[in-house]
Amino acid sequence: MSAQSITHLRRIGSGSVLMLGLIVGLIVLFCCGWLVGWNPTWRTLGVTPLEPHFFDMHVTLDYATCAAKGIDPYIPHACNLANFNLPPIWLWVSYLGLNGTDAPWLSVAMIAIALGVMVFLFKGRRGGDGLLALFAILSPSVMMGFERANPDLLIFAMAGGAALVYRQRKIGAVLATITLLSAGIVLKLFPMFCVALAARYNRRTLCFAAVITAIFLVYVLLIWKYLFLIRSNVPTTFMLSYGYKALFLGIDHLRAEAGLSPMGLAETWVPALTSIFVVIFSAALAVSNFRNGRMTCTVPDTAAGTAFFFGGGIYCGTFLLGTNFIYRLTFLLLCLPQLQEWQNQKDLDGARGTVVERGLLIALFAVLWLNGNSNGHTTFLLLPQLADWLLFFGLAAVLLSNLLNTLCARPPRRPR
């Protein structure tokens, strides 16, 4: 290959690389699915498949159809093998005449929207960054969401779109961001954790966080009687899950495999106390960085920085909910553009900052890839759970560090 060709390849942007990679990936996926079957194909990708295809979309549409007939959708297994654990607004799709037969095209449309937002999030960088983003998207955690057509993909598109349109000094852009996140809250509640943007402490971000919090609280009051039903219908399991309880549920599974009686730690104070200790250690690290004038992992006022706050806030917030299926790790893709920018820019704080930023990047990929299982089975693994805790600690420390640095507005100490 000539030097001119190599130079040309280096000029290809990350958006083009990502788009081309996704197209090739879809072609390979469909060819393998047609030749050897969909279930073996998904298992090869580390995803546990469910029948029918686009299972989560079928669940939503089945319960909407039942609710239109007067059946209580929150009764376990009333209309499907899986329980309905979404806010009641999802039942309104029945008024549009939609049912289970519409699941395939609705799923494809939702996946296309989510992929489109992903491409826009990563465009404008080097081609290598596009390859790195493609590697993250092809992880078992993200692909599980695609296989099941989980509604989290739509919420991801809303949160990613909100980060892209947000402009701190433009009222119209801020209102558009609030609208997108409010729609996400109405559909799934946890975009509330995007209030982590307030870690970029100023009057505008405080107002933004206050409005989002107010919308969340009003909505919670409106659907209060459904919240406990939704919570009871959400599985609490170590299988293909992350969250502060997942590790302790998995320990009992390992003991059962060894023929030992369960310890039941997940139902004690131990998981919550462990979470408190980790948050305290994160805060201590943030305070130490501030006192020593280290500005490691400073999140700028850019679209990538806003996306980082949204993704980091959602990961840390959902981690503290107990357990979540790993398709929700898709929101970590929001953190990746800023992690890439930190790697691409000159490190003004010496090797220390480089180690921290690269450590976060490695931890993010470990979480995305290790939480899936190459044989498609749901065997509990200790390593991914430890990676989940490590990333929780790192992201919490970064969010708290940025809050301290902007809250006190002290200029960084320049290295001698």
- What pLDDT does residue 15 have? 84
Encode pLDDT of 335-348 as tens digits: 999 999 988 875 44
Q: What is the pLDDT of residue 9?
A: 45
| C-alpha 210, offset from chain centre | 23
Which residue would you say has higher pLDDT here, 364 or 349?
364
Contact 74, 226 (CB under 8 A): yes
Phi first, then psi, for residue 242 (nearest 5°) are -130, 160
Task: Round to whole Å and give the CA distance between 142 and 135.
Answer: 10
Q: CA-to-CA distance for 67 and 65, rounded, in angstroms?
A: 6
Q: What is the pLDDT of residues 391-404, one digit of tens each?
A: 999 999 999 999 99
- Measured distance CA(263)–CA(313) in Å, rounded: 31
Q: What percent of the chain has pLDDT over 90?
A: 62
Per residue in 188-218, pLDDT (tens digit) is 999 999 999 999 988 899 999 999 999 999 9
Two tokens, residue 384: 């991914």
CB atoms within 10 A of CB 169: 8
- Residue closest to 403 by CA, chosen among 274, 272, 312, 317: 312
Q: Are 142 and 368 in contact (CB under 8 A)?
A: yes
**What does the pLDDT look like over 252-275, one tens digit per residue?**
888 887 788 888 888 999 999 999
Q: Which two tokens stand for residue 157?
A: 């598109």
Query: Which pLDDT does position 158 carry in this prediction?
Result: 97
CA pair distance 402, 324, nearest whole angstrom: 27
Predicted local distance difference test score (pLDDT) of residue 262: 84
pLDDT at 376 over 80: no
Contact 74, 84 (CB under 8 A): yes
For residues 220 and 214, what is the distance between their CA atoms, to the nearest angstrom? 10
172's CB contacts (< 8 A; 6+ apart) are: none
Cis amide bond preceding 52, omega within 30: yes
pLDDT at 151 over 50: yes
Q: Are 159 and 314 in contact (CB under 8 A)?
A: yes
Q: Is the pLDDT of residue 168 over 90?
A: no
Q: Is residue 375 predicted with pLDDT exceeding 60?
A: no
In tens, the pLDDT along 70-112 reads 999 999 999 888 999 999 999 999 888 888 889 999 999 999 9
Looking at residue 346, its pLDDT comes to: 57
Chain mean position to CA 104: 23
Confidence of residue 379 (pLDDT cuts 50, 70, 90): low
Q: Are 226 and 215 in contact (CB under 8 A)?
A: no
pLDDT score of 10: 54
Structure tokens at 317: 């917030």
CA distance 47 to 363: 20
- Separation between Cα atoms, residue 32 and residue 39, nearest integer Å: 10
pLDDT beyond 50 at 3: no
User: What value does the mean pLDDT of the chain take?
Assistant: 88
> Which one, of 137, 147, 199, 114, lies nearest residue 332 by Cα?
137
Q: What is the pLDDT of residue 302?
A: 92
Look at residue 59 and tell me whether its pLDDT is greater than 70. yes
Query: To the nearest whole percent, how much of the chain has pLDDT over 70?
Result: 91
Is-contact 333 137, C-beta < 8 A?
yes
Average pLDDT of span 30-52: 89
Q: Which residues contact 166 (CB under 8 A, 6 or more apart)?
A: 173, 174, 176, 177, 303, 306
State residue 191's pLDDT score: 95
Handedness of CA 266, 188, 91, 82 (dihedral sign): negative
- pLDDT tens digits along 4-22: 544 444 567 888 899 999 9
Q: How much helix, strand and coil, in percent to the nearest 5, is found in the chain?
A: 70, 0, 30
